[in-house]
Amino acid sequence: MFRRIFLLNAAVLVAAAALLLLGPVTISTPVLLTEALILSAGLAVMLIANAALLRLGLAPLQRLTRAMTTIDLLRPGPRPVAAGHSEIADLITTFNSMLDRLEAERATSSARALSAQEGERRRIAQELHDEVGQTLTAVLLELKRVADQSPAPVREELLLVQETTRGSLDEIRRIARRLRPGVLEELGLASALSALVNEIPDHGGLTVRRRVTGPLPALGDEVELVLYRVAQESLTNAVRHARARHVDLSLRRVPGAVELCIRDDGRGLGGAPEGAGIRGMRERALLIGAGLAIGPGPDGGTEVRLTVPTTQREPLP
C-alpha cells in the first residue's frame, strides 16, 4: 500500500517537474500574473489527479471499513468483494476468513449453550413435577382429609386453602410444561403450538388465532424445538410488552421451506434495542440455518417471521 501511494505521488510530481523543465513556460522575477495563473492551474490539476488516484486506490478499503462497522454475527450478510490490488484483496480475503471462523465459533458455542439451557430446563421441569408437584398433591389430599373431619367454620377455611393450593399446583404444572414441552416430543409441533396458544391467559382480552397449513414436511427434533421456542418467545413478548388485542400465529409450507409467522396489533418495537429474548431467537435460527425477520407488520404491530429451509423442495398442496 505504501509503495503504491508513493509511486502514484512520485509519478504526479515527476510529470509536473518535466512540464516545468521541458515546457515553454518560464517564471519571471517578479512573477507575472499569467505565470501565477498557469502555476495555480497546474497545482490544481496535480491535486485533483492525486486525489482521484488515491480515491480509486483506497475505495476497497473504504468498503471494508463500512463492512467492519456494520457487521453483526447474528445477521449474516454478503461478504465484501475481494477487489483491488493484491495487498488490499489479500486483506479483504483475510477479513472474510476471519468472519467465517467467528461465525463458526459462535455457532458452536451457541449450540453448546442452548443445549445446556435445554438440559437445565428439562431438569428443573422434572424436579417441579416430581418434587414440588407431588408434595402439593400430598398437601391437597391431607387438606381434604382434615376438612372432612373438621366442623363447618373450619371446613370452609380449609376449602379456601385447598383451592389456593390447587391453583399453585396448576401454575407449577404450567411452568413445567413451558420449560419442557412434553407434548412436542409426544404429539408433534402442531399439537405443541395448539397447547402453547391455549395456555395464554384470556383475562387480558388478548385473542390468539392459530393456523397450521399442512401437511408439513418431515422436520428434525432440533428444528421443531427451534420453531416452538421462537413461537413461545414471540407470544410471550406479545402478552407482556406489546399491549396487543389480537395475535395471529401461522405455520405453513412454502416452496422449499417451512414458515412460521407471529403477527400482533400492538404498539410495535419502536426504537427499543433488541433484548435477550430476540437475540436468543436469532441464535436459535442460525443454528438450523433459518432466516429470522423481525419488524413492523403490514397493519402495524410486530411481525416475527422464521423461514426454515427444507432439505428437498416440497410442492405446495
Higher pLDDT, 241 or 226: 226
CB neighbours of 157 closer than 8 A, spacing ≥ 6? none
| Domain-located, residue 294 | yes
Mean pLDDT for 38-65 is 74
Q: Is the pLDDT of residue 315 over 50?
A: no
Grid cell listed for 275: 433484548
221-240 and 276-287 helices, crossing angle to 10°: 160
Boundary (domain end) residue, out of 33, 68, 103: 68
Q: Is the pLDDT of residue 88 over 50?
A: yes
- pLDDT at 306 (0 to 100): 93
| Domain-located, residue 295 | yes
Q: Is the pLDDT of residue 261 over 90?
A: yes
Question: Residue 300 — pLDDT band, cuts 50, 70, 90?
Answer: confident
Q: Do the beta carbons of residue 112 and residue 105 sit within 8 Å? A: no
d(CA 92, CA 45): 32
| Domain-located, residue 105 | no
Burial 90-119 (b: 16+ CB within 10 A, else e): ebbeebbeebeeeeeeeeeebeeebeeeee
Q: Do the beta carbons of residue 107 and residue 286 sit within 8 Å? A: yes
Residues 262-278 pLDDT 10s: 999 888 877 667 777 88
Task: Fill in the DSSP letter of residue 211.
Answer: E
CA 194 to chain centroid, in Å, comes to 25
Q: For residue 189, list its beta bridge partners.
A: none
| Domain-located, residue 7 | yes
Higher pLDDT, 141 or 203: 141
| Domain-located, residue 197 | yes
The torsion region of residue 78 among left (phi > 0), alpha (psi -120 to 50) and beta comes to beta
Domain count, the chain: 2
Q: Is the pLDDT of residue 314 over 50?
A: no
How many percent of the chain have pLDDT more than 90? Answer: 6
Which domain does 23 fall in, by range? 2-68
* Angstrom distances, CA of residue 251 to CA of 210, 266, 308: 8, 21, 11
**Helix and strand counts by DSSP (H, E) for the chain:** 9, 5
Q: Is the pLDDT of residue 316 over 50?
A: no
Element (H, E) at 10: helix 2-22
Element (H, E) at 251: strand 246-254
Q: Is the pLDDT of residue 73 over 60?
A: yes
Q: For residue 307, list its beta bridge partners.
A: 259, 291
Residues 275-295 pLDDT 10s: 778 888 888 888 888 889 988
Question: Residue 178 — pLDDT band, cuts 50, 70, 90?
Answer: confident
Q: Is the pLDDT of residue 204 over 70?
A: no
Q: 317 with 188, same domain?
A: yes
Q: Which CATH number characterizes residue 199's domain?
A: 3.30.565.10
Boundary (domain end) residue, out of 43, 68, 93: 68
Boundary (domain end) residue, out of 68, 85, 115: 68
| Domain-located, residue 52 | yes
Lowest mean pLDDT among 8-17, 58-67, 190-199, 242-251: 8-17
Give the pTM.
0.64
| Domain-located, residue 9 | yes
| Domain-located, residue 263 | yes
Question: Residue 20 — pLDDT band, cuts 50, 70, 90?
Answer: low
